[in-house]
Structures are given as structure tokens and as C-alpha cells.
Chains A and B, each alone.
Chain A
Amino acid sequence: MVLTPERLRRLALWWLVFLLPLLPLAWLVERALAMDLGADPAQAIVQFTGIWTLRLLFVTLAVTPLRLMFRWAWLQRYRRMFGLYTLFYAVVHLLAFATFILGWRPDLLLRELSERPYIIVGTLALLLLIPLGVTSTRGMQRRLGPKWAKLHRLVYLIALLAMLHFIWQIRSSFQEQLIYGLILAWLLGFRLWKRRRRSRGARRQTA
């Protein structure tokens, strides 16, 4: 295999996109090892991994609008990576909650998963992410054909559930939730707008 400049550029970009989402986790581990997460490191870790799950989900959802707006065709190639990182952070988030906050106490796990609405919607969002992760390979994509796109539209529901999970934890300040909510509204609104324009264009053609 010859390393042409083009291939080299692509390789460097791949590694960049692969390593970048690991930075927050590396920072967190470094702080935790330095015992620098305050009196309640458990809460700090759970909050941190939670917000990064949401951020990576938004990055994943931003691929399509950015690609279309700026004609960044190359971005499409990394959507799967962002999606898998979203799943990865979500799993770490849930494991951190179960380990550091609940200590894997079965009674507490059962109580939280059955009684706490914000825990239930958060868990549901994670469960729905799993089939998307499993079917993210090119082989599965080919095997599922048109059903693949349909299945992966679940991500919109997942985003709404994740947002609800976040909103449900507001104590008094809703600043963060408002900002994230507006970003999500744009990410979803862009798709609705595109679809309406497309169907209107199609109607005009058939007329």
C-alpha cells in the first residue's frame, strides 16, 4: 500500500477524529486519579460523562446538516465514529451511576430503574442506542438495506429522551438545558425543513 498524500491526509484525519472524543475521558481519569474531583467524585463523574454523551450525540446529529450546508462530503465518513462514541460515553455514564452512586446495590438499582422517571427515560435512551451501535457496520448496513435507515431514525427519539432526561434534573437554573434544547431544536428542525422542501419539490415535479 502506497501512502499517497491524499491517503496520508485521510489517515491523519481518521486518527484525529478517533482521538479527539477520548480527550474528555482522559481528562476525567486524570482528575479522578489526582483525587481532584471534590467531596463527591461520584456525582462529578456521572455528570461529566452524561453531558459528554449528550454533546457527542449532538455532534453525530450535526454531521448531516454541516455536510449539506458547507458541502463537507468528507464529514459523512466519521458519523459512525461519533455515534459509537455516543454509545460508549452513555455506557460509561450508566456504569458510573450504578457503580459509584448506587454501589450495585440491587434494591437501589431496582428502585431507581422503576421509580425515577428521569432514570427510566435515560436508561431507555441508552437501550435504544445499543441496536444502532450493533447495526452500525457496513455489512449490517448492506444486509438491512432500506430498513437500516428506518431503524437508525430511532436516533431522533433517543435525542428527545436524552434531552428529557437532562431537563428532568433542573433544580432552579435552566440555562444549560435551554442552550442544549435550542441546539437540538435546530438539529431536528433542519431535517424537518429539508424534508418539507424536498417533498414540495417532488410535488412540483409531478405536477
Chain B
Amino acid sequence: MLIKKPDPIKASEITPEPIYRNRRLFMQGLAGSAALALSGGAAAIPAYDLDADAPRYPGPDWLQSKLRAGARNEALSTAEKPAPYVNVITHNNFYEFGTGKQDPSRKAQNFKTDPWSVEIAGEVDKPGTYALEDLLQPHGIEERIYRLRCVEAWSMVIPWMGFPLGDLLKRFGPTSRAKYVAFTTLLDPEQMPGQGGFFSTLDWPYVEGLRMDEAMHPLTLLAVGLYGNALPPQNGAPFRLVVPWKYGFKSIKSIVRIELTESMPVTTWNQTAPNEYGFYANVNPEVDHPRWSQATERRLPSSLFSPNIIDTKPFNGYGDQVASLYSGMDLRKWF
């Protein structure tokens, strides 16, 4: 299911064991479930009931077979109800296309996301620039339904399509000096009107980073799709990060460069307001943003008379899987 063609790297080497086991469990579950026995056998993602008049994003031809072959990773997916498709593609923080929530869906429609190339740089054995198609070639895609918690105290449940970042990094042979991973978004003010703004306090291009163990964690996803389709441009097409236990701004969009570094990389929001946005940015109800509380969140979509206020969980509810990464750290200091 993961790798169809013979590949120099074995699946057992690139896939962390827990995931590998999860997948087996899932396949066993699949075999036993008549309800999931769909035509073609491989397509285990239910046909989503997408809003009829909302635009679809099929993505490039080379992505089609991958998207169709993707199955849901039930073990790593939440059972919560995903936000309606139309909300996921029209409520975006993607300041490269404007600061309004609906700006990206209005202004990113002509954003060119194919062909796309990504540079792998820094402390790796095999640096280089790759066409996205070639970069993704050995990786199978699966669906993961994750909670996304924005630092602005709203949240959504989103069915992503992607694969673990760790699988990709391993292929390029991180050296012993690789302690962090730094990511860069495309810089293209012609296509991204927000980057040309005179009044923004952000420096472009947008940069983000993870510690190596965070990057290798099986929950850390490189997404190429959502709701069974390719990523819409406003959601960070063609290729973005999804780190579900951190505030949404860590999940950098439209990545063109991945660099493994020895020292902690600069990150955009932290550089702009270091007292408000930390490097780690783990979801933490105990540590407020200086201007607002993080103890609760509004789960979107909300209707007017039920604001859908829920308590925010440490690590966005992924504490069982990731809290050990930070054992011994003062999370108030390293917010």
C-alpha cells in the first residue's frame, strides 16, 4: 500500500514502527469490514459530501493515483466531526494573500502550484532541488483527521491527505549535526499580494522550524491534500506542514525549502513578537497569549447562538503522544 515500485529504501526503514503497526491494524480492520470494501479495493476514504457549489481542487495529474490510493489512518485520526469543506477552504490565515480570513480564498485562486520544486538543504547527505512530483514519488499518502488549533483561539477539525515528514527527512540522510528543521514558504510578491504590503510587520518569506525530534514524530505530517482532493491554494498548496499539537502558525504553507540546521532557526511570528509567539508554540491552555486567553477555544463552524466554546487541551489533545518530547522543560518559559 505504501510503496508500489521497488525502491532503494525499504518501507520498514522509513516508516516508524508505531505507524507501521497502526497501518497493519488498519488493514486488518479493513479486511474484516464489509462496509469498507469499496470498489477498486484501495480507496478506503469515504466519498465526502462536499458542498455542491464550493470549488474543487483536483490537483496535478501525477497526484491523482496517490490521492486515490490513500486510506484513512484511523488510529491517528480523531473521531470528531470535520468542519464542512466550504469552511475549511474559506476561513484561512495565509497572510501572503491578505490578513482577512476570506482573503486567501479570494486572492489565491490563480496561484501557480504546479510545477513546484523544493530545495532540501543543510545538514543532509543528499542535498538538492527536486520537483515536487519526484520528491513525493516514494511516499504513499494517507488521510489523517486532525484538530487544528489557531493561536487566535478558534479551532477546526480537518481531514488532511499527506505523509509523515520524518519519512521524507530520512531519505535525505540527516547528519549528526542536524538538530532542527527550518522551512521556508515561497517568496513571490507578484503572486502573493500580502508580501508586497507596506504596512505588515512580518518579514517575508515566512519561515518556520521544528526541533528534530518534533519533525521526526509520526504525527508530524506533510500534507498535499484535504477532503480527499489536492490542497486548495488558500490552504497552502501544493505542499505544507501540519503539526497538530502546535498552534496553527507553525504549520507553514506552500513550502519551497527544507533545511536541516544545527542551531534553532528563526521563525516569522517569533521574530515579529517574541513575547507573544514562542518557537515551540505548543497548544497550552495554561499559558495565555499576552492579549487573550488560551484556556478555551471556539470550535468552528460556530452558529450564532451556540458559540461552541470548548476547553483547550494541553498539546491540543495529543499529549499522550507528544508530551514526552518536552519532559523536564518549563513550558511557561519555552512557550
> Which A residues contact B (CB, under 8 angstroms)?
32, 38-43, 45, 99-103, 105, 108, 111-112, 115-118, 168-175, 178
Contacts and interface: CB of A to CB of B under 8 A. Distances in A.
Contact of B99 (A40, A168, A173): A173
B154 A168 contact: no
Which of A118, A170, A178: most chain B CB closer than 10 A?
A: A170
Contact of B298 (A42, A99, A111, A117): A42
B90 A38 contact: yes
A41 B304 CA distance: 7
Contacts of B200: 172-173
14 contacts: A32-B304, A38-B87, A39-B301, A39-B302, A40-B91, A40-B300, A40-B301, A43-B154, A102-B307, A102-B309, A108-B309, A115-B293, A116-B293, A170-B201
A103 B307 contact: yes
B132 interface: no
Given A32-B304, A100-B304, A108-B296, A172 B95 contact: yes
Interface in B19-52: none
B83 interface: yes
Contacts of A172: 95, 99, 200-202, 272
A58 B292 CA distance: 27
Contacts of A38: 87, 90-91, 101-102
Interface string B281-308: 0000000100111011010111111110
B235 to A, nearest CB: 13
A170 B95 CA distance: 13
A141 B305 CA distance: 40
A89 B310 CA distance: 29
Interface of B: 83, 87, 90-91, 95, 99, 101-102, 154, 156, 197-202, 272, 288, 291-293, 295-296, 298, 300-307, 309
Nearest to A104: B307
Contact of A118 (B95, B288, B291): B291
A46 to B, nearest CB: 11
Nearest to B293: A111
Contacts of A103: 306-307, 309
A171 B91 contact: no
Q: Which applies to chain B's interface (DSSP): helix, strand, loop or mixed?
A: loop
B97 to A, nearest CB: 12
Contact of A41 (B154, B198, B302): B302
A45 B38 CA distance: 44
A171 B304 CA distance: 25
B199 A42 contact: no
Contact of A39 (B91, B202, B293): B91
A39 B199 contact: no
B90 A116 contact: no
B90 A39 contact: yes
B243 to A, nearest CB: 20
A68 to B, nearest CB: 32
A170 B201 CA distance: 10
A168 B291 CA distance: 8
Nearest to A119: B292
Contacts of B202: 172
A40 B302 contact: yes
A172 B298 CA distance: 22
A117 B290 CA distance: 9
A144 to B, nearest CB: 38
Given A100-B307, A175-B199, 4 more contacts: A42-B302, A101-B298, A115-B293, A173-B197
Nearest to A168: B291
Nearest to A179: B199
A39 B201 contact: no
A169 B83 CA distance: 27
Nearest to B90: A38
Nearest to A41: B304
A76 B335 CA distance: 54
A93 to B, nearest CB: 15
A102 B297 CA distance: 10
Contacts of B303: 41
A25 to B, nearest CB: 15
B51 to A, nearest CB: 12
Contacts of B197: 173, 175
B99 A171 contact: yes
B327 to A, nearest CB: 30
Nearest to B99: A173
